[in-house]
C-alpha cells in the first residue's frame, strides 16, 4: 500500500511506515494535480500538513483512499465530517507539537519584552554608529517572572504553554468554554514533579488581569479577539497568536497598537497566509514568524511516529 506524504514527513515516520510494509512517496504534488496523481498511483493514505487541502473533489474522486492524515492539530484544510461520512479514516497528531508551539510562544514573549525583534534589525544597521542610542532605546525591558499569563484555550497546547509559564515563575489564568479546571504536572530533569491546579475564569477577567495573553483556540466563525477585547486589556499587555489565522482581527490589532491600547503583539499565523498584509509585516509593534509553531525536529519526529502508528493500527 502506498502513502503519499504530500507536505513531507520526518524520517522517523518514513522508517516506521516502511518497516510496517508501506511504500512512502515524498513527492510534493501540486494541488490541481493531486486527484489525478492519487488515482494514477493508487494511493491508500494521503498525509498533509497545512499546505495541501483535502476537499470533496479528492474525497469523492479518489476511490483508493482509505486514510487522510494531518501532521499536526488543526484540520481546517480537510473536509473532515464529509470524509468520515464517506467511510474514510481521518487522523491527526494533536499532542505531538504542543511543546514546540509553547516554546515558540515564549520565544516571542521573551523577544518582544526585550525588544529583540527591533534590535536584531537595527544592530546590523546602526550598531557601530549609534550603539548608545540603541542601548537607550531598548533600555526599558520587562521581565516575565512574576507576571500573569492569560491563556485563551487551555487544551493540549494551552496546557503545554501554561507549564512553560509556571516554570518561568509566572502566574497563569485561563479561559476555556469547555474546561472548568486542569491539573498540570511539571516534570523536571531530576525526576521531581510539581502539580498546579488551574480553574478557568471568564474571558473578560483574563483579558483585564493578564500582562501577557496567548491564544490556543480552533478556527471560529467570529474573531476571538477584536476591538472590544483590546479595549479590556492593559495598555502594557502583549498578545501572541500561534493558533489560527482569523481568530484575531488584524485590523483591530493594528489599530490597538497605533492607539497604545496594548504594548505589543506577536503573530505566527495570519488571516491571509501565505501572503500576510503588508501593514502587519512592516509594523514595528509586531514580532512575526511564518507559521512555524510545530517546526522543530523533535515535533516532526513525534508527528511522523504517531501517524505511522495510527496508520498501521488501521490498515494492518
User: From the candidates 117, 291, 302, 306, which is the catalytic residue?
Assistant: 291
Ranges assigned E (strand) in the chain? 2-5, 23-25, 43-48, 67-70, 89-92, 148-152, 171-175, 181-187, 193-199, 212-215, 238-241, 264-267, 286-288
> Residue 26: CB partners within 8 Å, gap ≥ 6?
5, 8, 9, 14
Tell me if residue 244 is catalytic. yes
Cell of 90: 481521518
Helix (H) or strand (E) run with residue 35 in it? helix 34-41
Is the distance from CB of 294 to CB of 51 less than 8 angstroms? Answer: no
Catalytic residue among 70, 117, 244, 302: 244
C-alpha cell read off for 137: 532605546
- Under DSSP, is residue 17 helix (H, G, I), strand (E, B) or coil? helix
Determine whether 202 is exposed, middle or buried from the number of CB atoms within 10 Å of its CB (0-12, 13-18, 19+): exposed
Cα separation, 248 vs 211, whole angstroms:
18
Ramachandran region, residue 210 (left: φ > 0; alpha: ψ -120 to 50; beta: rest)? beta
The answer to whether residue 273 is catalytic is yes
With contact defined as beta carbons under 8 Å apart, do 204 and 229 qualify? no
Q: Is 121 tagged catalytic? A: no
As given in the structure block, the three cell numbers for residue 227 are: 476591538
Distance from C-alpha of 77 to C-alpha of 13, rounded to nearest angstrom: 21
Q: Which residues are catalytic?
A: 244, 273, 291
Amino acid at each position: 500500500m502506498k502513502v503519499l506524504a504530500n507536505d513531507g514527513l520526518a524520517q522517523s515516520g518514513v522508517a516506521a511506515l516502511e518497516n510496517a510494509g508501506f511504500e512512502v512517496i515524498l513527492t510534493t504534488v501540486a494541488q490541481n494535480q493531486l486527484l489525478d496523481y492519487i488515482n494514477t498511483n493508487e494511493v491508500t493514505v494521503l498525509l498533509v500538513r497545512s499546505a495541501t487541502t483535502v476537499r470533496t473533489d479528492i474525497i469523492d474522486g479518489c476511490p483508493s483512499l482509505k486514510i487522510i492524515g494531518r501532521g499536526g492539530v488543526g484540520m481546517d484544510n480537510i473536509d473532515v465530517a464529509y470524509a468520515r461520512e464517506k467511510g474514510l479514516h481521518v487522523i491527526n497528531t494533536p499532542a505531538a507539537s504542543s511543546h514546540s508551539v509553547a516554546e515558540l510562544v515564549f520565544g516571542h514573549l521573551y523577544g518582544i519584552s526585550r525588544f529583540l525583534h527591533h534590535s536584531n534589525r537595527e544592530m546590523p544597521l546602526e550598531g557601530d554608529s549609534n550603539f548608545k542610542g540603541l542601548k537607550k532605546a531598548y533600555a526599558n525591558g520587562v521581565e516575565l517572572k512574576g507576571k500573569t499569563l492569560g491563556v485563551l484555550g487551555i487544551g493540549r497546547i494551552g496546557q503545554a504553554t501554561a507549564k512553560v509559564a509556571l516554570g518561568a515563575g509566572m502566574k497563569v489564568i485561563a479561559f476555556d468554554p469547555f474546561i472548568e479546571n486542569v491539573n498540570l504536572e511539571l516534570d523536571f530533569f531530576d525526576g521531581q514533579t510539581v502539580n498546579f491546579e488551574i480553574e478557568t475564569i471568564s474571558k473578560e477577567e483574563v483579558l483585564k488581569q493578564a500582562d501577557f495573553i496567548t491564544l490556543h483556540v480552533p478556527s471560529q466563525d467570529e474573531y476571538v479577539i477584536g476591538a472590544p477585547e483590546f479595549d479590556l486589556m492593559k495598555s502594557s499587555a502583549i498578545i501572541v497568536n500561534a493558533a489560527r489565522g482569523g481568530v484575531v482581527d488584524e485590523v483591530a490589532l493594528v489599530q490597538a497598537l497605533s492607539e497604545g491600547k496594548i504594548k505589543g503583539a506577536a503573530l505566527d499565523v495570519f488571516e491571509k497566509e501565505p501572503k500576510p498584509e503588508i501593514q502587519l509585516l512592516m509594523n514595528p509593534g509586531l514580532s512575526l514568524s511564518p507559521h512555524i509553531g510545530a517546526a522543530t525536529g523533535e515535533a516532526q519526529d513525534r508527528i511522523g511516529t504517531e501517524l505511522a502508528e495510527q496508520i498501521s493500527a488501521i490498515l494492518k
